[in-house]
Structure 1
Amino acid sequence: MVYKTAPARREVQKNVHLVLHLIALVAGILGIYAVFKFHHEMRISNLVSLHSWLGISTICLFGLQWVLAFFSFVFPGSNTGSRTSYLSWHVFLGMVVFLLAVCTAEMGITEKFIYEGLKRNQEALIVKFTGLLIFLFAVSVSLTILIPRGY
């Protein structure tokens, strides 16, 4: 998204993209740590739902994507030919990880909705509205990535 929205030189866009994703990766790792710590303190089993499995998969794929991109695009001495061949895969895998994160968030909201037994109160309305906003965000990001520049 930085490449399409930030009016800056390509090198600046690349560095902003790298740093924002590093911040997201660290935040994701801290989030996973907090969940495992909370489950341990409350004596709750870990990794029992599809939401938790997708969450772990998402953060692992995101970390792998970040490391591969760092060594392909940022690390000095990487081959220009390999950069070019990896770029389309990088964009594709980035979209996969993003959509996996969206699915994980939607499942987490649904899981919370079911476990809390929310029916027809304002809290349930907020949960449903949040899920709808996440979906609309995913659609808008996907369109932004898929539509070429100049349109």
Structure 2
Amino acid sequence: MIQAPSLSLPCFPLSQILHTLFMIIGFILLGGEGILAHRWGVGLGWARGPRKASHLWLQGAALGFGVAGVWTKFKAKKGVLANFHSLHSWMGLLCLLLFAAQWTVGFLSFWNRGEGRRARTLLLPWHVFVGIFTYSLAVATAESGLAEKMAFLHTKHGIPRSSLEFTLINVLGLTLAIHCGLVVFTLIPVKHKENSNITMVSSDGEHLNSKFVFS
């Protein structure tokens, strides 16, 4: 009789489970939706104000989940420094810092409108570029975390690489990569790649020129 493959995953600490859950929900799922908020808003016929608000608060929620995810590592029993020695952890901290800087700059410059029109025009392409880079970095960080977890399962618990556990992790990693590609593809359609000089109109009617389009 042929038996179906069964899972034999070890019991991970709650901090590791929450860390993975918070980071994926925050930086990848909510972060991706926050990036696309302008695009979805246009399709739904929203005015620019609600689109900006949804972008701001989705990214704020993503940042909150990211902070909570990192906090779970600070609260681990082995101490703070024990959890921040790998490339995965360094990439994660860089991602968190960039995310926080992006949200702060976006709030002060585009929502609170603390900068003048010319300053916002110059800042907008960099804000978009750093946002896309940070999101891509978040996905790359998640992939490195999955690879790190696979190495842990193989070396510490002897789980073979051909097991169902490794297959599930590979499927999750591939899903995250495809999700990232779809977000970037939706954000920059082909028609806007061909016409790289696009004029954006802000909520008060002023025009902002940018090579990237959110509306």
TM-score, normalised via structure 1 length:
0.91
Give how far 1:77 is off: 4.2
The unaligned stretches of length 5 or more in structure 1 are: none
For residues 41-87 of structure 1, what are the alpha-carbon distances to aligned partners after superposition, in whole Å with 9 as ceiling and x for unaligned? Answer: 13571311100000000000110111011111011443122112111
Corresponding pairs, count = 147
> What pairs up with 1:32-47 in 2 under 5 angstroms?
32-38=70-76, 41-43=77-79, 45-47=82-84
TM-score, normalised via structure 2 length:
0.65
Larger Rg belongs to: 2
Equivalent of residue 71 in structure 1, options 100, 108, 111:
108
Q: 1:5 — aligned with what? A: 40
Tell whether 2:136 aligns with 1:99. Answer: yes
Q: Which amino acid in structure 2 is aligned with residue 111 of structure 1?
A: E
For residues 99-130 of structure 1, what are the alpha-carbon distances to aligned partners after superposition, in whole Å with 9 as ceiling and x for unaligned? Answer: 11011000000000111114222211110000
Q: 1:24 — aligned with what? A: 62
Q: 1:130 — aligned with what? A: 172
**Fraction of identical pairs, as percent:** 33
Q: Which amino acid in structure 1 is aligned with residue 40 of structure 2?
A: T
Equivalent of residue 14 in structure 1, options 52, 71, 86:
52
Q: Which amino acid in structure 2 is aligned with residue 42 of structure 1?
A: K
Q: 2:4 — aligned with what? A: none
* Helix, strand or coil at the partner of 2:54: helix
1:82–1:104 CA distance, 2 compared to 1 (3 A): same
> What pairs up with 1:39-58 in 2 under 5 angstroms?
41-43=77-79, 45-58=82-95
Greater percentage in helix: 1
Separation in structure 2 between the aligned mates of residue 63 and residue 106 of structure 1, nearest angstrom: 21
